[in-house]
Amino acid sequence: MLSNGVILLHDNARPHTANAVKTTLQQFRWETLEHPPYSPDLSPCDFHVFGALKQAIRGHRFTTDDEVCGWVQAWIRQQPTSFFKDGIDRLVSQWDKCGDYF
């Protein structure tokens, strides 16, 4: 199941480019998509999750870091599965918009 049509998008951080990681990805036969070291328009967190999170958190005041962490964790848990699926589905169109980078 882990080798059937998986395409992995990750950045070029050292842990992702280590030989052990590369070997494991080859063993699973996962295709990896290459992109610039920092590309916010290709990160579902940057183009999908954080925008909605920033909108939801606007106007809230927190007195401790723990309050912020708890609020964000609760917000994430409240999102329907479709919210995250939509972000992943939009990745293809985001990738197409970035064609000039490659």
> Does one domain contain both 19 and 44?
no
> Does one domain contain both 48 and 96?
yes
Of the candidates 41, 40, 42, the one whose C-alpha atom is nearest the C-alpha of residue 32 is 42
Give me the half-sphere count of Cα atoms (radius 13 Å) on the Cβ side of residue 75: 17
Q: Per-residue pLDDT tens for 72-95?
A: 999 999 999 999 888 878 777 777
Give me the number of domains the chain comprises. 2
> Does one domain contain both 27 and 66?
no
Q: Which domain holds residue 77?
A: 39-101
Q: Per-residue pLDDT tens for 13-70?
A: 777 778 888 888 888 888 887 665 555 555 656 677 888 999 999 999 999 999 999 9
> Does one domain contain both 31 and 56?
no
Tell me what pLDDT residue 64 has.
96
Q: What is the pTM of this model?
A: 0.53
> Does one domain contain both 29 and 44?
no
> Does one domain contain both 30 and 43?
no
> Does one domain contain both 83 and 43?
yes
